[in-house]
Chain A
Amino acid sequence: MNGPIVRALLRDAYYQVVDNLGFRILLVLFLLPGLFFLAVSFRTDGIWIVGTWQLDPDWLSRGGGAPPTTAALEQRLQGQLDGIVDNVLLTFDLFASVFAIAAVSFFVPQMLERGGADVVFSKPVSRLALYLSRYVAGLAFVSLLAVVLIGGVFSGLWLASGYFQPRLIWVIPALVYGFASLHAISCLFGVLTRSSIAAILLTVVFMPINYGLHNAFESRAVEQHVAEATDKPAPPASAASATIAVLLDAYHLVGPKNGDGSRIAKALRERLDYVAPEFVDDDLGLTIAAAPEGFQREPRSALRQDGLTWLAPHPDGGGEASWRIKVESVERAGELTALTKTLRKELGVDSKPTIIGKISGRRFEWTEQRGQESRLRRRWLLQIKDELLTIDYDAEAAWAVREDSERAARAFTSSWSLEGDAQRRAKSASYDDLFAWDASWRFNSVLSILTTLLFIALTLALGWWKLSRIDF
């Protein structure tokens, strides 16, 4: 196939797409989120309509407690916008899949209609090329819509809310990827039935069946993961359920995993944003994203010895400020409850409940005199199964209560992710959490991509084989 033929087929695909009424309607609908984010600004000082009407100045500050710092508001804003964007994209992903299938399923049957087929298939172009051109037309259809949707949302958020997120671009290939396997199926149904209505109906019926089978597989895969992680033997399965399990495994391997598109996009988005964390401990499920502002980690300090330590020189020439995190066995350090009681007696202050990551514990705060200096001390006690995690903060009191010092301390503790031990992590894990590039085959994203691409290739090959045997 030479250049003019490829160009002709691509241009034909483009003409077919832009002439499609369904495409035009979807195009207008897909412009709406972008226009919405352009018209509505989400800022730390409220929600603004067209930059003029302030709707809700306190939308990020609700929930009681002391007024949050600017940094905390910005962090909340980021979180809120992430949530809003994810919901918008999820809705449109589902919407786009169903409507795009309805809009493009006629591409192949129309090409095979009596009269139309005679013209096209008598040209010196292979049937494979013509078939693939209809497939590419469908992908172009969704790609254009995805560019409009994501480009609109990205530009709207950037221009109106100052939320610049190039990682959103990953959603475009994810939407196309999710659609690619469905469209391959619709092309195959188009060749087999040579009817637009049948191709649409069969594809729309296939979508929930495929989703349901993968969903069943995913639930079972997570259950198995928990059972393996917690060393709980699985209850004996009946022959029927064992057969169903094998069939689900087989279908998951063979079938198109178009739903993984959004998971892969999320993984890619995270990879784009990825910054190596300051510290990771897999046994505790502990990740500390960044060092406390102005502090340096002691190179020789260790979590399970004297404790991981960060030090900062005192700005006013006094003693150093320090953060120290230490892990000891409960056997050696004592149970959390007993330790809390002892500390309460020793210090003469009550503890407060605290949660770091997914682990709850107790928090003490007191001041002590050290020479001429008044020191602010904070201590967090968290028990993770048979290990006790102690976090100590020690700084000159006047310096520690300054707004910038407090903000830096809060930012540090809120950058922690503490999931707990492996068994605990396994119990609360979802398929989304376990889905990763280096996971076992049930959760492996590379396998998911490869098997889905193989499914697409085989489906297209089957469609082409059938097409090559048609006598027009």
Chain B
Amino acid sequence: MDRSSPAVSVRALSKVYGRGLFGGGGFRAVDELTLEVGRGQVFGLLGPNGAGKTTLVKMLLGLARPTSGDARLLGAPVGDALVRRKVGYLPEGHRFPPYLTGVQMLNLFGEMCGCERDKLARRVPEVLELVGMRDAAKRKLREFSKGMTQRMGLAQALIHEPELIILDEPTDGVDPVGRAAVRQIVQGLKERGVTVFINSHLLQEVELICDRVVIMVKGKLVREGAIEDLTPRNGRYRFELGSVPANLRVLLGDLGAGFEAHERGFELQLSDTELDRCVDLLRTAGVSIRGILARRLNLEQAFIQLVKAQQQGGAQ
């Protein structure tokens, strides 16, 4: 397997469901998608419901057959059983064998991924500790809460020390403490050079975790880039002042819009010219400026804007 090859490489990949007898019609869940995920990245796959994210993930894991195009994991075709030994997967809405205990499930899935017993004897306690499930590991999975099952799901995705981990809604049903733990685990994986591919609706999580994000709408890739690239400045500035003058609002006059005072300063919507004027006014009045922070759209806002624009574009 070529170690210089990308972790995920997709070329003109399409999936059409419910095609007719002669290949016509059907629903195009993924449409000529091309993307690449480099090794060691934490990659986020975003999109509204029905965007084709899960279909893409399932094609990557051999759970669904592509209609056309090419997909590779770690340089090998997606159907290759050997490459799947190097991939961990936490599906959304998973159901684990209810007749197994946590330890039995980890051993089962570890062995299915080709791990020998000696390795599992070391790995199982390690992974259980990592996901905070050591105490409950000998209970049957049917007795677990949703959050506990989710943690076990993460554990089974990690048990065989994969090079690529695909996480579908990894923090679904997990409490805030658990979510922080998941973020910490992902960070740890990144530090070890593991590629993490996250498909999530929780954009705040993605924003906190991911280096790079792709947004899919209606089976197509509509935006791709680093978080900063996807979250542009929104023209709003936060001023931190040495001391807040009593006549601040009078001082600024009708400059800008959406004035909001806060304890150590204010926030205001300003154009570039207005920003210069604002600084001049404050300095002329002897107000000390400790900091100016250009506000950005958060990922959720950027995502909603983009999806709305795409949907409106599609409607037109």
Interface residues of A, Cβ cutoff 8 Å to B: 2, 4-5, 7-9, 11-12, 15-16, 19-20, 113-119, 121-126, 471-472
- At the interface, yes or no: B108 with Cβ under 8 Å from chain A? yes
**Residues on B with beta carbons closer than 8 Å to the beta carbon of A119:** 89, 91, 94-96, 109, 153, 156
> CA separation between A471 and B56, bound complex, in Å?
12
Q: Which of B112-120, B200-208, B229-237, B272-280 contacts A (4 or more CB under 8 A)?
A: B112-120
- At the interface, yes or no: B224 with Cβ under 8 Å from chain A? no
**Residues on B with beta carbons closer than 8 Å to the beta carbon of A9:** 112
Q: Are A122 and B97 interface neighbours, CB within 8 A? A: no
Of B65, B97, B107, B117, most buried by chain A (CB within 10 Å of CB) is B97
Q: Which residues of B, 71-91, contact A by the 8 Å Cβ criterion?
A: 81-85, 87, 89, 91
Q: Are B96 and A8 interface neighbours, CB within 8 A? A: no
**Residues on B with beta carbons closer than 8 Å to the beta carbon of A118:** 58, 61, 63, 89, 91, 94
**Residues on A with beta carbons closer than 8 Å to the beta carbon of B91:** 115, 118-119, 122
Q: Are A122 and B114 interface neighbours, CB within 8 A? A: no
CB < 8 Å: which of B81, B99, B117 contacts A125? B81
Q: Are A15 and B99 interface neighbours, CB within 8 A? A: yes
> CA separation between A126 and B84, bound complex, in Å?
11
**Residues on A with beta carbons closer than 8 Å to the beta carbon of B84:** 122-124
Q: Are B108 and A8 interface neighbours, CB within 8 A? A: yes
- At the interface, yes or no: B187 with Cβ under 8 Å from chain A? no
- The binding surface of chain A is classed by DSSP as helix
Q: Are A4 and B94 interface neighbours, CB within 8 A? A: no
CB < 8 Å: which of B65, B93, B107, B140 contacts A471? B65
Residue of A nearest to B64 (CB): A471
12 A-B residue pairings within 8 Å (CB atoms) = A5-B111, A8-B111, A12-B100, A16-B97, A20-B99, A115-B91, A116-B96, A117-B63, A118-B91, A119-B109, A124-B85, A125-B112
> CA separation between A303 and B104, bound complex, in Å?
71
A122-B63 in contact given A15-B99, A116-B97 (Cβ < 8 Å)? yes
Q: How far is the CB of A271 from chain B (nearest CB, A)?
A: 40
- At the interface, yes or no: B62 with Cβ under 8 Å from chain A? yes
**Residues on B with beta carbons closer than 8 Å to the beta carbon of A115:** 91, 93-95
How many A-B residue pairs lie within 8 Å, measured between CB atoms? 89
> CA separation between A20 and B100, bound complex, in Å?
11
> CA separation between A119 and B141, bound complex, in Å?
14
CB < 8 Å: which of A8, A113, A121, A124 contacts B82? A124
Q: Are B63 and A12 interface neighbours, CB within 8 A? A: no
* CB 8 Å contact bits of B161-181 with A (1 = contact, 0 = none): 000000000000000000000
Q: How far is the CB of A16 from chain B (nearest CB, A)?
A: 5
Given contacts A4-B114, A11-B108, A116-B96, 8 further A-B contacts (CB under 8 A): A5-B114, A19-B140, A114-B93, A119-B94, A122-B89, A122-B91, A123-B112, A123-B113
Q: How far is the CB of B193 from chain A (nearest CB, A)?
A: 21
Q: Are A116 and B115 interface neighbours, CB within 8 A? A: no
Q: Are A4 and B62 interface neighbours, CB within 8 A? A: no
CB < 8 Å: which of A4, A16, A124 contacts B81? A124
> CA separation between A472 and B63, bound complex, in Å?
5
**Residues on B with beta carbons closer than 8 Å to the beta carbon of A5:** 111-112, 114
> CA separation between A15 and B105, bound complex, in Å?
10
Q: Are A124 and B114 interface neighbours, CB within 8 A? A: yes
Q: Are B111 and A471 interface neighbours, CB within 8 A? A: no
Q: Are A124 and B63 interface neighbours, CB within 8 A? A: no
Residue of B nearest to A469 (CB): B65
**Residues on B with beta carbons closer than 8 Å to the beta carbon of A472:** 58, 63-64
**Residues on B with beta carbons closer than 8 Å to the beta carbon of A116:** 94-97
Q: How far is the CB of B123 from chain A (nearest CB, A)?
A: 13
Residue of A nearest to B112 (CB): A123
Q: Are B95 and A113 interface neighbours, CB within 8 A? A: yes
A15-B94 in contact given A119-B156, A122-B63 (Cβ < 8 Å)? no
> CA separation between A214 and B82, bound complex, in Å?
46
> CA separation between A9 and B111, bound complex, in Å?
9
Residue of A nearest to B81 (CB): A124
Q: Are B64 and A8 interface neighbours, CB within 8 A? A: no
